[in-house]
Amino acid sequence: MWKRIGLSVLGLVVTWLLLFSGQLLVAKAATDITANTTGLNAPSKIEEQTGDNEWTEVALNSKLEEGQNYRLTYSWSIADDVMVTDGDTASVTLPTTAAHGYVSFPVKTKTLPTTTVGNVELQNDKSSAGTITFNNELASTNVGRSGEMTFQVTGTSDSTNDNSGSTPIITKNGWVTSYNSDGIPEEVVWNIAFNSENKDLGTVTLTDDIGGNQTYVGPVRFHSRIQFQWIRLI
């Protein structure tokens, strides 16, 4: 099983097709519209990273293996005639074996100039649910609201399909935790999983070199067998 050691940036792309149908200006309280959506409860496609910029589709019931990068695609829509106004929310369910950092991305229309119609937020690493919070930009349409989201995550499940019969001694992945005002990644967290099978390796020195255009801001935190480092991109 090919294992990717590098930066796993959680990415999000949302594409919308908007068909306007009259003005829906009746005020209402913010509500959870998840029950009026389709495609948000599970990915419609899962791809495993098998090389540089190379992704291979895997079964939808696959467990996301520890230390491996995956791309999750959601094809989703909002039911017609459902009013969507400021503060309404919808939940996005991620696989329980997906890991990620806190990330927040705008939901934008596909057509130019783009319009922000809401925001997607994932609260913390290994959370299996995200939230889309809409603003009032969709209040004037009630049909044709469909889109696609793509998340890049890291797996957490123990490897059971590796032909070698064991998991890697070291895996390293990371995720972006903040962006500057231009939407460019500004800070990233790296995590290193070392000796996940608790083998007797004797005396070991583990050295982690910081890559170019990065500066260490700390701290290093140890959680069980995983090391976290906060790095600022420069």
The pLDDT of residue 167 is 63
For tokens 């519209």, what's the residue?
Answer: 33
Helix, strand, coil percentages, rounded to 5, for the chain = 0, 45, 50
The pLDDT of residue 203 is 83
Q: Tell me the average confidence (pLDDT) per consecutive run of 10 residues in the chain, 234 residues long.
A: 38 38 55 96 93 87 87 94 96 90 83 87 78 94 89 78 57 74 76 75 78 75 54 50
The residues that bridge with 214 in the sheet, in sequence order, are: 233
Q: What tokens were used for 190?
A: 């790296």
Nearest to 228 by CA among 185, 187, 198, 200: 187
DSSP-derived letter for residue 157 is B
Distance CA 193, CA 173 (A): 9
Residues 89, 36 contacting (CB under 8 angstroms): no
The pLDDT of residue 39 is 96
Element (H or E) spanning 228, and its range? strand 226-233
Neighbours of 110 (CB within 10 A): 14
